[in-house]
């Protein structure tokens, strides 16, 4: 792997970057078609805009509904892009993902199951059917760094893991954002005309809500953490934090409801202050905000009897629990 030359957010000229990358994509793809998957995160959104600028309708953009996204997310994202003239097709792949996640509790095995299902099965089939030879992907420099350092295997880094996508999956990958970090990508996304709800979007991991469930990610457990996530995002909407998340624990604890013992579920809340996700500190949320959040989760998410707030910094914690 040749050394990637970083472009810092400070030195980045977003308009020029967009022109250059669109030209590069155009040249690489020629008269062919390219394909990309949009999750609505800032990276895949910026890539979609670059690809659309370069290729117009010759870029086929899909939103893979893997069943582990947040409430209403597929429809929201598709409608944002529709307003920008970009057609995005939703692909229902829930059964494939839940099938692959069945019985798996280990974090890295979960990531691997999602990677394989995404790239080999669901996306592989789409690519084959579309005839596309190119995949546009929103890999950024931090993904590469963390994978190389062996900290956490990002789902979208192949070369550094010794995987040749051409050989493994039958397509070439174009990664126009690989010189940037998140702050640079946000500048590109804004300059490309995306709305603030996208260019300032809170990071959300590729493995989605399965990263927010410790242990097996079943439909039921995902549904439970999804409900807690809706409440968390409503309650903390005004908080200026890098990222916040609700996590469903694997262990149950004793609680009581209606004067009866209930061996119930535990939700852990994390809320982080961070510049670039490499280090992070728990946000000093007010106790009353935490209490209100806990009370809503306890009242509205069936079976939950315990809500905790994580106060360990990264390192030694990581931001996600999985
Ligand atoms: P950690 O947990 O490594 O998280 O401190 C740092 C940032 O990366 C996100 N994250 C992921 N993103 N695939 C992703 O696309 C992953 O497997 C993954 N794991 C963590 C996390 O949400 C945080 O913003």
Last residue within a domain, chosen from 168, 199, 230: 199
Distances in Å between the Cα of 34 and the Cα atoms of 65, 177, 183, 253, 312 are 20, 16, 26, 50, 43
Q: What is the dihedral of CA 75, 81, 85, 88, to 10 degrees?
A: -60
Q: Which residues form the domain of 158?
A: 14-199
Which of 101, 211, 320, 322, when mutated, tests ligand 1's pocket best, judged by the most ligand atoms within 8 Å of its CB? 320
The stretch 53-81 carries a mean pLDDT of 97
pTM of the model: 0.88
The stretch 257-272 carries a mean pLDDT of 97
Q: Residue 85: is it exposed, middle or buried by C-beta count within 10 angstroms (0-12/13-18/19+)?
A: exposed
| Residue 7 counted as domain residue | no
The stretch 127-133 carries a mean pLDDT of 84
| Residue 246 counted as domain residue | yes
HEC profile for the chain? Answer: CCCCCCCCCCCCCHHHHHHHHHHHHHHHHCCCCEEEECCCCHHHHHHHHHHHHHHHHHEEEEEEECCCCCCCHHHHHHHHHHHCCCCEEEEECHHHHHHHHCCCCCHHHHHHHHHHHHHHHHHHHHHHHHCCCEEECCCCHHHHHHHHCCCCCCCCCCHHHCCCHHHHHCCEEECCCCCCCHHHHHHHHHHCCCCHHHHCCCCCCCCHHHHHECCCCCHHHHHHHHHHHHHHHHHCCCCCCCEEEEEECCCCEEEEECCEEEEEEEEEEEEEECCCCCCEEECCCCHHHHHHHHHHHHHHCCCEEEEEECCCCECCCCCCCC
| Residue 229 counted as domain residue | yes
Based on the fold, state whether residues 264 and 142 are members of the same structural domain: no
Q: Residue 1 pLDDT > 60, yes or no? A: no
Based on the fold, state whether residues 39 and 102 are members of the same structural domain: yes
- Give Rg (Cα) of the chain: 20
Q: Of all atoms in ligand 1, which is nearest to the CA of residue 245?
A: 22
The stretch 39-66 carries a mean pLDDT of 96
| Residue 163 counted as domain residue | yes
Please tell me the residue having the least CA distance from ligand 1 atom 20: 205
Based on the fold, state whether residues 154 and 19 are members of the same structural domain: yes
The stretch 29-49 carries a mean pLDDT of 95
Based on the fold, state whether residues 124 and 188 are members of the same structural domain: yes
What would the pLDDT profile of 231-245 be if each residue is shown by its tens digit?
999 999 999 999 999
> Which CATH number fits the domain that encloses residue 94?
3.40.50.620
| Distance separating alpha carbons of residues 125 and 133, to the nearest angstrom | 12
* 278 touches ligand 1 (CB under 6 Å): no
> Which CATH number fits the domain that encloses residue 221?
3.30.300.10
* 138 touches ligand 1 (CB under 6 Å): no
Based on the fold, state whether residues 81 and 182 are members of the same structural domain: yes
Please tell me the residue having the least CA distance from ligand 1 atom 8: 205
User: What pLDDT is stored for residue 229 in this prediction?
Assistant: 98
Confidence of residue 119 (pLDDT cuts 50, 70, 90): confident
Which of 42, 210, 272, 277, when mutated, tests ligand 1's pocket best, judged by the most ligand atoms within 8 Å of its CB? 277
Based on the fold, state whether residues 175 and 221 are members of the same structural domain: no
Q: Chain-wide mean pLDDT for the chain?
A: 93
* 110 touches ligand 1 (CB under 6 Å): no
* Residue 253 β-bridge partners: 264
Under a CB-based contact definition with an 8 Å cutoff, are residues 267 and 295 in contact? no
Q: Residue 62 pLDDT > 70, yes or no? A: yes
* 277 touches ligand 1 (CB under 6 Å): yes
User: What pLDDT is stored for residue 278 in this prediction?
Assistant: 85
Residues with Cβ < 8 Å from 31, sequence gap 6 or more? 58
Please tell me the residue having the least CA distance from ligand 1 atom 19: 205
| Distance separating alpha carbons of residues 296 and 291, to the nearest angstrom | 9
| Distance separating alpha carbons of residues 263 and 256, to the nearest angstrom | 8
* 74 touches ligand 1 (CB under 6 Å): no
User: What pLDDT is stored for residue 128 in this prediction?
Assistant: 80
User: What pLDDT is stored for residue 127 in this prediction?
Assistant: 82
What would the pLDDT profile of 186-218 be if each residue is shown by its tens digit?
999 999 999 999 999 999 998 999 999 999 999
| Residue 2 counted as domain residue | no
Which of 101, 112, 211, 279, when mutated, tests ligand 1's pocket best, judged by the most ligand atoms within 8 Å of its CB? 211
What would the pLDDT profile of 138-184 be if each residue is shown by its tens digit?
999 988 887 777 765 655 666 666 677 777 767 788 999 999 999 99
User: What pLDDT is stored for residue 2 in this prediction?
Assistant: 61
| Distance separating alpha carbons of residues 26 and 3, to the nearest angstrom | 24
Based on the fold, state whether residues 183 and 240 are members of the same structural domain: no
Please tell me the residue having the least CA distance from ligand 1 atom 3: 318
Q: How far is the CA of 93 from the centre of ligand 1 (A)?
A: 22
Last residue within a domain, chosen from 169, 199, 229: 199
| Distance separating alpha carbons of residues 39 and 88, to the nearest angstrom | 11
Q: How far is the CA of 277 from the centre of ligand 1 (A)?
A: 8
Q: How far is the CA of 205 from the centre of ligand 1 (A)?
A: 5
User: What pLDDT is stored for residue 3 in this prediction?
Assistant: 76
What are the b/e assignments for 155-185, b being 16+ CB within 10 Å?
A: bbbbbbeeeeeeeebebebbbbbbbbbbebb
Based on the fold, state whether residues 59 and 177 are members of the same structural domain: yes
User: What pLDDT is stored for residue 114 in this prediction?
Assistant: 94
Q: Report the domain count for the chain.
A: 2
User: What pLDDT is stored for residue 154 in this prediction?
Assistant: 58
Based on the fold, state whether residues 263 and 171 are members of the same structural domain: no
The stretch 10-36 carries a mean pLDDT of 97
| Residue 314 counted as domain residue | no
What would the pLDDT profile of 286-316 be if each residue is shown by its tens digit?
999 999 999 999 999 999 999 999 999 999 9
């Amino acid at each position: 792997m040749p050394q990637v030359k970083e472009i810092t957010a400070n030195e980045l000229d977003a308009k020029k970057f967009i022109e250059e990358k669109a030209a590069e994509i155009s040249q690489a793809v020629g008269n062919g078609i390219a394909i990309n998957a949009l999750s609505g995160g800032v990276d895949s959104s910026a890539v979609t805009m670059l690809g659309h600028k370069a290729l117009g309708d010759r870029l086929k953009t899909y939103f893979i509904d893997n069943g582990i996204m947040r409430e209403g997310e597929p429809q929201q994202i598709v409608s944002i892009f529709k307003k920008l003239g970009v057609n995005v097709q939703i692909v229902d792949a829930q059964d494939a993902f839940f099938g692959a996640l069945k019985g798996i509790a280990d974090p890295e095995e979960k990531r691997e199951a999602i990677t394989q299902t995404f790239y080999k099965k669901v996306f592989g089939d789409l690519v084959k059917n579309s005839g596309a030879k190119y995949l546009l992907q929103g890999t950024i420099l931090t993904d590469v760094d963390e994978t190389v350092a062996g900290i956490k295997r990002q789902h979208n880094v192949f070369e550094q893991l010794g995987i040749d996508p051409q050989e493994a999956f039958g397509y070439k990958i174009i990664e126009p954002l690989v010189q940037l970090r998140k702050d640079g990508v946000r500048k590109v996304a804004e300059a490309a005309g995306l709305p603030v709800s996208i260019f300032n979007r809170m990071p959300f991991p590729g493995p989605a809500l399965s990263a927010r469930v410790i242990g097996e990610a079943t439909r039921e457990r995902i549904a439970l953490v999804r409900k807690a996530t809706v409440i968390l995002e409503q309650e903390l909407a005004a908080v200026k934090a890098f990222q916040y998340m609700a996590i469903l624990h694997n262990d149950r604890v004793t609680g009581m409801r209606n004067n009866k013992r209930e061996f119930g579920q535990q939700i852990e809340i994390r809320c982080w202050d961070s510049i670039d996700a490499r280090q992070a500190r728990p946000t000093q949320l007010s106790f009353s905000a935490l209490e209100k959040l806990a009370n809503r989760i306890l009242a509205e998410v069936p079976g939950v009897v315990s809500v905790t707030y994580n106060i360990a910094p990264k390192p030694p914690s990581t931001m996600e629990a999985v």
